[in-house]
Structure 1
């Protein structure tokens, strides 16, 4: 398995072949690149496992943990594409293991931890830096009236078109797939990254928010919105089709227009 991530992830890589209705179960090979914290290096574990046509990659990994190797560490929670916990590299592409059909990927599936994150153990990665960056852009509603900020006196109703301004970007589940696919994150650890910048726009585009100018000041620099080279890999791999690349361009446009 390659140590490097391609600059952009093509749509072809993300296509899923049709599964024959006649396929009941199949024996596949999982090649799992695991990080060993004691040795400070990666090692490759190979497993042969039987999967059904309905099994996901996460199902296959959990079968391995249950039946073959209790030491394999896998992070997961909801199993339904909501929590974002099980994001990992699957055949070189950042995906949610719980939403990726196993049989459709062929006889051999290569699995490794998310790129661009410090490894912790096996398929676990450390996401602390991503969430620190996320918090830095103040991903919440900001009101000029401090009392109103914490003790609202009324509901802030929105028209459908006001919700539409940010609805697409509010579906982000913070799984880190876009960060793993981003070539700028790979080359510049100080770059805020697509998830963070997209959320900066999501909250700034909210009609109830009065803190866009604060976020603009935070992201208006080479490590912020102007560090994006617009490879589009982030949107290509987003499991929720949240389109962070579009959000970044809208954020850049807002800053350049001086919309405060």
Structure 2
């Protein structure tokens, strides 16, 4: 019986590693203010495993095809929230989106999230988003002397706001909101979610102050309950429910 040569072994190994690859077209909305005033679409074709993530494809494009492609990413595991973008018209985290789940037989469109100024390619100016977050006082406020022991809280009290502690500030919910697209002064879902997290915390003493902040004309009453924010949240937070609970607290002053 003949022994396979090294060339044949290498060919077999190559076949086994490439047989599962598919050809995918990524259609990316490019923008460079130093080159042109208007954005353009650019196509890139890749041979890639459909079980890879969109973020892996963007890395491959940047590292092998076009080093000028600009996007944000950090942890690549759905925790930092920095790689939120519109993929096939829907806000998603590139690191949590598998290529096989976004119709790879057709061009996959990738563009920056809406409602915030695009700085370059997929990178937007996040400052207005973070300013709204800062404005709702996203920290525990208590009065009196510094405690000598931990501030205990029952499991039931914690459960009251547990869902809204999951926010990773990716801006996917806020930039999926039609009201935010049309009026950048609106606080947006993410800021309201983070206010909710402290308004309903039994240890906090600034609930009334936060409610008054959200009672502003650009606050919680601008929400039109389209559920875009809930659908866009990569952490599965019931964003619309949280917004409704803040509205109810404003009306009843019970929280």
**1:172 to 2:163 alignment:** no
Identify the structure with bigger relative contact order (alpha carbons < 8 Å, sequence gap 6+): 1
Aligned residues: 234
- Cα deviation, residue 40, structure 1: 2.8
Q: 2:73 aligns with which of 54, 72, 76?
A: 76
- Matches of residues 1-260 of structure 1 in structure 2 within 5 Å? 24-38=20-34, 39-105=36-102, 106-107=104-105, 108-145=107-144, 147-148=145-146, 152-259=147-254
Deviation at 1:51, TM superposition (A): 1.5
CA deviation profile, 1:165-206 (whole Å, cap 9, x unmatched): 111110010001111110110111111000001111111111
Give a deviation string over 1:116-167, Cα, whole Å, max 9, x none.
111011110111011011000000000122x43xxx4221111111110111
**Cα pair 1:34 1:45 within 8 Å, conserved:** yes
| Counterparts of 2:223 and 2:38, CA distance in 1 | 31
SS at match of 1:41: coil
Aligned-residue Cα RMSD (Å) equals 1.2
| Distance (whole Å) between structure 2 residues aligned to residue 128 and residue 259 of structure 1 | 32
Output the CA distance in 1 between the equivalents of 2:37 and 2:141: 43
- What is the CA–CA distance in structure 1 between the aligned matches of 2:148 and 2:137, rounded to whole Å? 22
Give 5+ residue unaligned stretches, structure 2. Answer: 1-18
Q: Which runs of 4+ in 1 moved over 2 A?
A: none
1:34, 1:113 within 8 Å by CA — same for their partners in 2?
no
SS at match of 2:142: coil
Kindly name which structure, 1 or 2, has the bigger radius of gyration based on alpha carbons.
Answer: 2
Q: C-alpha distance in 2, partners of 1:110/1:88?
A: 10
Q: Tell me, which stretches of 5 or more residues in structure 1 are unaligned?
A: 1-22
TM-score normalised by L of structure 1: 0.87
